[in-house]
Amino acid sequence: DAGVIQSPRHEVTEMGQEVTLRCKPISGHDYLFWYRQTMMRGLELLIYFNNNVPIDDSGMPEDRFSAKMPNASFSTLKIQPSEPRDSAVYFCASSSAVDTWGEQYFGPGTRLTVT
Amino acid sequence: AQKITQTQPGMFVQEKEAVTLDCTYDTSDPSYGLFWYKQPSSGEMIFLIYQGSYDQQNATEGRYSLNFQKARKSANLVISASQLGDSAMYFCAMREGGTDKLIFGTGTRLQVFP
């Protein structure tokens, strides 16, 4: 079975540009999570969805960040406008409510560099 | 207060030896789950093992076992017969019963040498 798929794997952009990160969760999973990983702050949860509905976006740093999940097999994380401090690895993860403790399975991540 | 604490920033172990990576947690929720993830240098986060707070026995998955000591609030990862491919960052995480969120520790970098 395919795991969580993220694209692009690497993104280099200039400050002020719009960036869109994409995620396809594991088929049948009903939870989707977006994380950001930096050396300074470690792994941070940005937002998560249950059955395509955003449940908690308290980790989204500011209004420049937005996330959508138009259907069960696709989600986007958008940054507009991007800033150098947004440089990080962004992970998408999915899980199933069927699993007792809902272990999360991560995608390979998108390494974002904003210059 | 930190909910998940990993006090070992780095650990070394010789190939074929066992190693224990420490994790302590803090919660007042009687229902919770504890997880370990591996992050090799390639960057992906790989789920290894989990333990529920009500599980009577320690979880095991192949060479990985979770030494769960509830009274001490510790959930140490034991890797038996270390291999060079075990060199990676290892993260401990917790999910409390009332939420869907995982809280991660700061990680331990394990290096396995021949």
pLDDT at A100: 66
Q: How distant is the Cα of A16 from the closest Cα of chain B, in angstroms? A: 27
Residue A92: exposure state from Cβ atoms within 10 A (0-12, 13-18, ≥19):
buried
Residue B83 CB neighbours (<10 A) = 11
Q: Which residues of A touch B (CB under 8 A)?
A: 31, 33, 42-43, 45, 48, 50, 55-56, 89, 91, 93, 95, 100-109, 111
Of residues B35, B20, B42, the one with CA closest to residue B96: B35
> In the numeric block, which tokens belong to residue A46?
């940005």
Residues 6+ positions from B23 with CB-CB distance below 8 Å: B4, B5, B6, B34, B36, B74, B75, B76, B77, B92, B105
Task: Name the closest residue on chain B to residue A58, using Cα atoms.
Answer: B101
Q: Which residues of B touch A (CB under 8 A)?
A: 33, 35, 37, 43-47, 50, 52, 91, 95, 100-102, 104, 106-107
| pLDDT tens-digit readout, A32-83 | 999 999 998 899 999 999 999 999 999 998 899 999 999 999 999 999 999 9
> In the numeric block, which tokens belong to residue A94?
């999915």
| pLDDT tens-digit readout, B21-54 | 999 999 999 999 999 999 999 999 999 999 999 9
Task: Name the closest residue on chain B to residue A93, using Cα atoms.
Answer: B45
User: Among B101, B106, B109, which would you mutate to test the A interface (most chain A Cβ atoms within 10 Å of its Cβ)?
Assistant: B101
User: Among A43, A60, A112, which would you mutate to test the B interface (most chain B Cβ atoms within 10 Å of its Cβ)?
Assistant: A43
pLDDT band at A101 (very low <50, low <70, confident <90, very high): confident
Q: How many CA atoms lie within 13 A of A19 on its CB side?
A: 29
| pLDDT tens-digit readout, B45-55 | 999 999 999 99
